[in-house]
């Protein structure tokens, strides 16, 4: 009887020890996890991008005015014939407006799905969209650019989807003439060439904006 009692005591003691060991292991693992989270630090590139973007994107983007070079494609000279194999994207935009966008992109040597991705990101295909910072229409042309675009391009209504696309594609055509990297072009469109150059010179070659647009384009191309 005493022998059985001693066995039970030994078994209970072993169970208690095992429980304490298990608890110690659990707390050790929790400590490692918490320490990993609290000790995480962004890379120098991520920190530079975050701080610089926050500082620079508070400024209103003013696109560079017409540089005096001959405009390669006047609207009247654009080929409006759409290829028979053209298929409108499954997005919230009329097929006619997509065909118009395709023709403008072809004339300006732009990727159609890239422009459509920009439109989706900028305005979600809402032609009457006006932001709190006075960005207008499908491609969100800021009001500070309206005057010179009216003079140079003849755009008079920046909420008209057709005119808005002309203005946005004109800017993109000009940026691609200056830069051969799509990320830099998108960064320049989003925050202006000067701000984008500051990031570029600091080793930041992509922004949240450029990555988001290219991700949408990848989806549209599927």
For residue 119, the tally of other CB atoms under 10 A from its CB is 28
Q: What is the DSSP string of 36-58?
A: HHHH----HHHHHHHHHHHHHTT
Give the pTM.
Answer: 0.70
Question: Residue 36: is its pLDDT beyond 50?
Answer: no
The alpha helices in 40-160, defined as continuous H runs, are 44-56, 95-107, 112-123, 146-153
Helix (H, G, I), strand (E, B) or coil at 85: coil
Per-residue pLDDT of 129-171, as tens digits, reads: 999 999 999 999 999 999 999 988 889 999 999 999 999 999 9
Q: Do 7 and 51 fall into the same domain?
A: no
Give the CATH number, domain containing residue 62. Answer: 1.10.530.10
In whole angstroms, what separates CA 135 from the centre of its chain?
A: 16
Total number of domains constituting the chain: 2
Per-residue pLDDT of 45-74, as tens digits, reads: 545 554 555 454 444 454 444 444 444 555
Question: Residue 85: is its pLDDT beyond 90?
Answer: no
Q: Do 55 and 152 fall into the same domain?
A: yes
Per-residue pLDDT of 165-222, as tens digits, reads: 999 999 999 999 999 999 999 999 999 999 999 999 999 999 999 999 999 999 999 9
Q: Do 31 and 58 fall into the same domain?
A: no
Q: Do 144 and 199 fall into the same domain?
A: yes
């Amino acid at each position: 009887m005493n022998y059985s009692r001693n066995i039970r005591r030994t078994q209970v003691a072993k169970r208690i020890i095992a429980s304490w060991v298990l608890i110690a292991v659990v707390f050790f693992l929790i400590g490692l996890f918490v320490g990993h989270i609290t000790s995480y630090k962004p890379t120098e590139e991520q920190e530079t991008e975050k701080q610089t973007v926050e500082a620079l994107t508070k400024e209103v983007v003013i696109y560079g005015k017409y540089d005096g070079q001959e405009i390669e494609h006047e609207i009247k000279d654009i080929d409006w014939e759409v290829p028979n194999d053209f298929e409108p994207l499954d997005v919230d935009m009329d097929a006619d407006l997509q065909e118009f966008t395709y023709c403008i992109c072809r004339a300006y040597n732009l990727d159609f799905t890239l422009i459509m991705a920009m439109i989706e990101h900028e305005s979600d295909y809402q032609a009457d969209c006006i932001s709190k910072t006075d960005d207008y229409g499908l491609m969100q042309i800021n009001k500070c650019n309206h005057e010179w675009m009216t003079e140079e391009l003849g755009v008079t209504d920046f909420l008209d989807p057709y005119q808005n696309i002309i203005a946005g594609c004109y800017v993109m055509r000009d940026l691609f003439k200056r830069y051969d990297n799509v990320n830099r072009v998108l960064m320049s469109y989003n925050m202006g060439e000067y701000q984008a150059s500051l990031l570029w010179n600091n080793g930041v070659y992509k922004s949240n904006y450029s990555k988001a647009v290219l991700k949408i384009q990848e989806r549209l191309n599927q």
